[in-house]
Structure 1
Amino acid sequence: MLEFVVGIVLFFGIHSIAIVVPDWRNDMVRRMGAVPWKAIYGLISIVGIVLLIKGYGDLRWASTALYSPPGWLRHAGMLLLLPVFPLLLATYLPGRISARAKHPMLLAVKIWALAHLLMNGRAVDLALFGAFLAWAVADRIAAKRRSSRPASAPALPATAVNDAVVVVGGLAIYVAFVLWLHTWLIGVPVVA
């Protein structure tokens, strides 16, 4: 339980800096430099996600069941997950999809978390996926208010080819997750 809580605090703490103190990140980058800041940010994120995943894995089956989702909700959740990987790719491949989504990564996280909340009814699921959903909603609201960050790397040009890669590549990753990767990475088969 301690690993799970510390993981949530570290992971969402570092990812919530821009929500709570929007200018602090830019001040730290100016003072430390971009590379040291990103190294510290990345290290805290990795430690947080590793603890969070380990703690979740330890608690998954011992956690209290709050509700038992009906079978049809599993199918609805799987359908809801279809745009998640295309949206993640759209974060890095600008085109019409990324422009329409405005913040494709945050949208992907919100959809992913909601789908998993619908399909999983244990207390630890509510804590994990609820935290991701709440964070993504809060970050999206905060993103509307904060000034844009200076680009750390040149952006790719927005093209229709990027949109095609986003859709085809994202759906291919979705299929790979459904058939193999979810079982391999998470230990829970999607298709039984």
Structure 2
Amino acid sequence: MNVEQFEGAEVHLHITGSISAALVPWWIHWLRELNPELTVNVSVTRSATRFLAVRSLRHLANGRVWVDAWDESDVPPEVNSGRSGASECLLVFPATLDTLMRLAQGRADSPALMMLQVTDLPIVIADTLPGSNEIVEANLRTLRLRSNVAFAPRVTGVRASNRAAAEVGFNLPGAIAVANEMLKKGRPSE
């Protein structure tokens, strides 16, 4: 596996309610070990809290950690401007089918979705889609129309539901490589 360091100083991970969310604390630990100076901010959907403890994320991440709900007191006010602290990139890791469909439809019914809808920052999607059809593909095409949205490269994984091999985008090293490319394109030439 080709491992790249994140080339920015601050990143935001939005964790959605896939069983893959249970692995995210380990990935945050890995990311911070590889990038000791990196600030990692995290938002967590309520459905993701079925698979991980927000408390553990508050110990592993060194930035702001908040639950993605309007009635939570720790939602940072800058989400209204499409920001999360000084994050230079937003990673949706893992990105469930529900989250991607809501994002493609332009919905902003949670703080993180609103942040993702209005941001001009690079967004990298690390999907965990259970399958596909014409509707799913149409929504993914809609997301690809946004110049600031890209997808992590697909890797072979194993489905938790039936242990079958599957291609998924739940790939943090790949997502970091895509984020770095997007950041390079957005920087003025030196």
TM-score range, shorter chain: under 0.3
TM-score, scaled relative to structure 2: 0.23
Structure with the bigger percentage of helix: 1
TM-score, scaled relative to structure 1: 0.23
Instruction: Tell me which structure has the larger Cα radius of gyration.
Output: 1
